[in-house]
Structure 1
Amino acid sequence: MEKIFAVALGGAMGSVARYFITLIAGSAHSQTFPTGTFIANLLGCLLLGVFWSLFERVHISNEFRLFLFTGFLGGFTTFSTFARETVQLFKVGEHIQAFTYLAVSNIFALGMVATGFMLAHRFIRW
Structure 2
Amino acid sequence: MIWVGLAVAGAIGAPSRYLLDGFIQQRTQRQWPLGTLVVNVSGSFLLGFLTGLLLYHAFPTDLEVVLGAGFCGSFTTFSTFTFEMARLAEEGAWRQAGAYAVLTVGVGLGAAALGLQAAGGL
Q: TM-score of the superposition, structure 1-length normalised? A: 0.90
**May I ask how many residue pairs the two structures share in their alignment?**
121
Alpha carbons 1:6, 1:66 under 8 Å: kept: no
Q: Which runs of 5+ in 2 are unaligned?
A: none
Equivalent residue number for residue 97 of structure 1: 96
The DSSP-based 3-state class of the residue aligned with 2:69 is: helix
Q: Following the alignment from structure 1 to structure 2, what is the Cα–Cα distance between the partners of residues 3 and 49?
A: 21
Are residues 1:106 and 2:91 paired?
no
**Where in structure 1 are there 5+ consecutive unaligned residues?**
none
How far apart are residue 26 of structure 1 and its match? 1.4
Code of the residue aligned with 1:97 in structure 2: it is Q
Q: State the 1:37 CA deviation.
A: 0.7
Name the aligned partner's letter for residue 92 of structure 1. Answer: E
What TM-score do the two structures reach when normalised by structure 2?
A: 0.93
Partner SS, residue 93 of structure 1: coil
Match for residue 66 of structure 1? Answer: 65
Pair 1:32 & 2:27 matched: no
Q: Which runs of 4+ in 1 moved over 4 A?
A: none
| 8 Å contact kept, 2:44–2:108 | yes
